[in-house]
Amino acid sequence: SREAGQHAGAADGAQEDVAFNLVILSLTEGLGLSGLLGNGAVLWLLSSNVYRNPFAIYLLDVACADLIFLGCHMVAIIPDLLQSRLDFPGFVQTSLATLRFFCYIVGLSLLVAVSVEQCLAALFPAWYSCRRPRHLTTCVCALTWACCLLLHLLLSGACTQFFGEPSRHLCRTLWLVAAVLLAVLCCTMCGASLMLLLQVERGPQRPPPRGFPTLILLAVLLFLFCGLPFGIYWLSRNLLWHIPHYFYHFSFLTAAVYCAAKPVVYFCLGSAQGRRLPLRLVLQRALGDEAELGAVRETSRRGLVDIAA
């Protein structure tokens, strides 16, 4: 009877785990759908404003990476949600996995780039207004996509059968490189964000941070609390590090929260209290500080031209 009671308790615990996992996966699917709609709206609204504000290019590329990530994310967890009643072929699962990590690294790299550039704008406003290369943002975004694509192809070639026989030693080495890259990106982003926060808060007469600096700081906090667990899980899985079983679904949920919450942050920061504004104007208000900085840059350049004349 004692053994029967133990078996019954184990069965009840297993059923509770299955129910809990189904709830987590259902929430992930719902958040993924809302994130697709939000990031799609950001892409549509910023597409006509991207050339007037260089920092809008960063948000446009981040929204594009998040859109692809969420699409693959929602499809990849369908077999878990249906409890293996539907299984994808192996190459489909591998493609979804590698594509998700590729978009994850692209989004993180772009967030680091915009954090560093915003920090430079706050620390050296005169130099940044006059000396910043005109096409810096476009070049940084293109280089980010190219480098992350190269890492994606190397990982696919070494760890999968897409390009031939996989190499276990090379695969582990590349994942160690990816782990170092993730650590460097996180440290750089945290350092730049901390310097930005200290800069905007320094001095008794400085106004509180608003607009784009606040957007960057909130996006960094969102990544540390919601986006980082997915990267830790993915590295632990491929490097065979031990992680708790529950961390699997937890990291999927937090990744969906991370990608879905960013458009909400954009619209909340750009909205005006007590007024209804068009969504396009809301995004422009969220980028308001950088629009003002662009105007200052243009004024400074005209002043230099007048002096030179």
Question: Is 9 a member of any domain?
Answer: no
Domain that holds residue 34: 15-308
Question: With the CA atoms of 25, 29, 281 and 299 taken in that order, what torsion angle do they form, in degrees rounded to the nearest 10?
Answer: 60
Question: Is 41 a member of any domain?
Answer: yes
Question: Is 223 a member of any domain?
Answer: yes
Question: Is 6 a member of any domain?
Answer: no
Question: Is 7 a member of any domain?
Answer: no
Q: Is the pLDDT of residue 100 over 60?
A: yes
Q: Is the pLDDT of residue 147 over 60?
A: yes
Summarize pLDDT for 233-291 with one digit per residue, the tens.
999 988 888 888 778 888 999 999 999 999 988 888 766 555 555 566 667 666 654 44
Q: Is the pLDDT of residue 191 over 90?
A: yes
What per-residue confidence (pLDDT) applies to 304? 36
The whole-model pTM stands at: 0.83
Question: Is 147 a member of any domain?
Answer: yes
Task: Label each residue of 59-80 as H, E or C.
Answer: HHHHHHHHHHHHHHHHHHCHHH
Count of domains forming the chain: 1
* CATH value at residue 41: 1.20.1070.10
Question: Is 1 a member of any domain?
Answer: no
